[in-house]
């Protein structure tokens, strides 16, 4: 072999490419692809093996009526339901009427019109007057917020204001576009009492109308499982926690002890952060499912996820650029690498197929939560790619705007970062 073979145009035998004298063997690249492919495959298999029995243990309130204890007697309301709403003219009436149709516990409903520019407040007032004139066992009071105080986000302020007027031992924080089955609150409260919970989340059922919406929900759920294992939420030794804006049921004394939403006044992820504080405080946290008990139209078309993540995406990673990019890269790898592995062939092809087997099994496990067919796993790659784009876009927009825009108000990025904290 000539001494100057590195400078020659052809690659020597057994090497894949030449770059300024540095040779990479063809087999080395294949080994790297195979190694990473099997790491990804084993990760998804582990998710499948743990989630199949784990999610099967979640209590299904739609099927457990007979096994739950009765509600305790008492003269006052059992639950104060707090409904903040801003420009929810199209949905607020259905939400309030579904709450007023609730059976079982007596409700003190406090609806907050948070600076709406449409007829949200008018509709609240009309239903409140109708409720007061009739023989409804529940009460409905309306609060109108005209101006947002400095140092507050709109929703935490609305919920904190309403919670100050609560008289029940339990608080339910929900949203102005949620629909409740008549038995939903009774079943949730009985489950909380039976399990000695301080905080209970009843996972809402999303109203889905298209294949794209189902594909996005299923993909987001299985990706979220890498950070939050729902079956571990009740384990005091696990870090897993939960908070859902549509249904956060919490003991009022626990809420007060944690400082209420006054302690979360600049928190974009108010629901998640409430759940985090409950778990970190050593209180008992529970999660339950129940198809159709709590319903919400959250995804209006698959591309709507991009808009929905705009406010929350960067906040999930506490407004840290490096962490957000690392998370986006991790999601992108989950979407792209199994496909690359199958193209590479050999043992990498086997790893890619095993990866999709694991993903499909995780979809099977999550069907109890999402009500989505496991066949939606065939859309995992494009759905995960769209989620990656949504998170990166959320970060870029926040940096360009130097803040977060939500429902007509811009909140300073500097102030959000100052109040966010770095822990989860």
Q: What is the 3-state secondary structure (H, E, C) of 99-133?
A: HHCCCCCCEEEEEEEECCCCCHHHHHHHHHHHHHH
Identify the pLDDT of residue 381: 94
Q: How far apart are CA 336 and CA 344, in angstroms?
A: 13
Identify the pLDDT of residue 298: 86
Calculate what percentage of the chain has a pLDDT beyond 70.
Answer: 93
Identify the pLDDT of residue 408: 77
Q: Is the CB of residue 262 less than 8 Å from the CB of residue 162?
A: no
Q: How far apart are CA 350 and CA 197, in angstroms?
A: 45
Q: How far apart are CA 22 and CA 214, in angstroms?
A: 48
In CATH, the number for domain 61-194+235-283 is: 3.90.550.10
* Mean pLDDT value across residues 253-274: 95
Identify the pLDDT of residue 300: 86
Q: What is the CA radius of gyration of the chain?
A: 25
Cβ-based neighbours of 330, under 8 Å, separated by 6 or more: none
Identify the pLDDT of residue 1: 40
Coil, strand, or helix at residue 285? strand
Q: Is the CB of residue 260 less than 8 Å from the CB of residue 213?
A: no
Query: Among the listed ranges 14-28, 50-64, 259-273, 386-400, which one has the minimum average pLDDT value?
Result: 14-28
Q: How far apart are CA 330 and CA 344, in angstroms?
A: 20
Model's pTM, two decimal places? 0.89
Taking 70 as the threshold, does the pLDDT of residue 385 lie above it?
yes
**Burial level of 317, CB count in 10 A (0-12/13-18/19+)?**
buried
Burial string for 42-66 (b: 16+ CB within 10 Å, else e) reads eebbebbebbeebbeebbebbeeee
Closest CA to 59 of 299, 293, 374: 293
Identify the pLDDT of residue 25: 53
Instruction: Provide the pLDDT confidence category of residue 100 given band limits of 50, 70 and 90.
Output: very high
pLDDT in tens, 200-222: 999 999 999 999 999 999 999 99
Instruction: Dump the DSSP string for 145-159.
Output: E-SPPTT--HHHHHH
CB atoms closer than 10 angstroms to residue 344: 17
Identify the pLDDT of residue 66: 64
Query: Among the listed ranges 48-62, 155-169, 333-347, which one has the minimum average pLDDT value?
Result: 333-347
Give the domain ranges of the chain: 29-57+212-225+300-400, 61-194+235-283
Taking 90 as the threshold, does the pLDDT of residue 3 lie above it?
no
DSSP 8-state secondary structure symbol assigned to residue 81: E
Identify the pLDDT of residue 19: 45
Taking 60 as the threshold, does the pLDDT of residue 163 lie above it?
yes
pLDDT in tens, 227-258: 999 999 999 999 999 999 999 999 999 999 99
């Amino acid at each position: 072999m000539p001494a100057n073979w590195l400078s020659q145009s052809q690659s020597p035998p057994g090497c894949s490419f030449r770059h300024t004298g540095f040779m990479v063997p063809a087999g080395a690249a294949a080994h790297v692809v195979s190694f990473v492919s099997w790491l990804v495959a084993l990760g998804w298999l582990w998710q499948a093996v743990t989630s199949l029995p784990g999610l099967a243990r979640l209590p299904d309130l739609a099927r457990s009526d007979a096994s739950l204890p009765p509600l305790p007697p008492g003269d006052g309301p059992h639950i104060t339901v707090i409904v903040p709403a801003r420009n929810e003219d199209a949905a607020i009436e259905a939400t309030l009427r579904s709450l007023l149709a609730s059976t079982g516990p007596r409700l003190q409903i406090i609806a907050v019109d948070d600076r709406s520019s449409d007829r949200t407040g008018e509709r609240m007032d009309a239903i409140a007057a109708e409720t007061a004139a009739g023989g409804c066992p529940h009460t409905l009071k309306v609060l109108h917020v005209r101006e947002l105080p400095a140092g507050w986000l709109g929703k935490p302020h609305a919920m904190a204001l309403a919670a100050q007027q609560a008289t029940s031992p339990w608080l339910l924080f929900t949203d102005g576009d949620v629909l409740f089955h008549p038995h939903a609150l009774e079943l949730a409260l009985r489950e909380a009492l039976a399990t000695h919970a301080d905080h209970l989340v009843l996972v809402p059922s999303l109203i889905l109308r298209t294949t794209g919406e189902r594909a996005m929900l299923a993909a987001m759920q299985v990706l979220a499982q890498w950070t939050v294992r729902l079956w571990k939420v009740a384990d005091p030794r696990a870090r897993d926690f939960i908070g859902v804006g549509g249904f956060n049921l919490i003991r009022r004394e626990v809420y007060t002890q944690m400082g209420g939403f006054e302690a979360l006044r600049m928190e974009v992820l108010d629901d998640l952060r409430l759940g985090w504080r409950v778990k970190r405080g050593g209180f008992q946290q529970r999660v339950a499912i129940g198809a159709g008990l709590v319903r919400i139209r959250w995804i209006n078309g698959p591309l709507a996820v991009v808009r929905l993540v705009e406010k929350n995406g960067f906040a999930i990673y506490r407004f840290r650029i490096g962490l957000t990019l690392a998370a986006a890269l991790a999601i992108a790898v989950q979407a792209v690498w199994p496909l690359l592995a199958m193209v590479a062939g050999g043992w990498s092809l086997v790893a890619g197929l095993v990866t999709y087997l694991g993903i499909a099994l995780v979809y099977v496990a999550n069907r109890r939560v999402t009500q989505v067919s496991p066949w939606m796993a065939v859309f995992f790659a494009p759905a995960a790619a769209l989620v990656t784009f949504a998170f990166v876009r959320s970060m870029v927009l926040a940096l360009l705007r130097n803040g977060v825009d939500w429902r007509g108000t811009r909140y300073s990025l500097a102030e959000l970062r100052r109040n966010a904290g770095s822990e989860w």
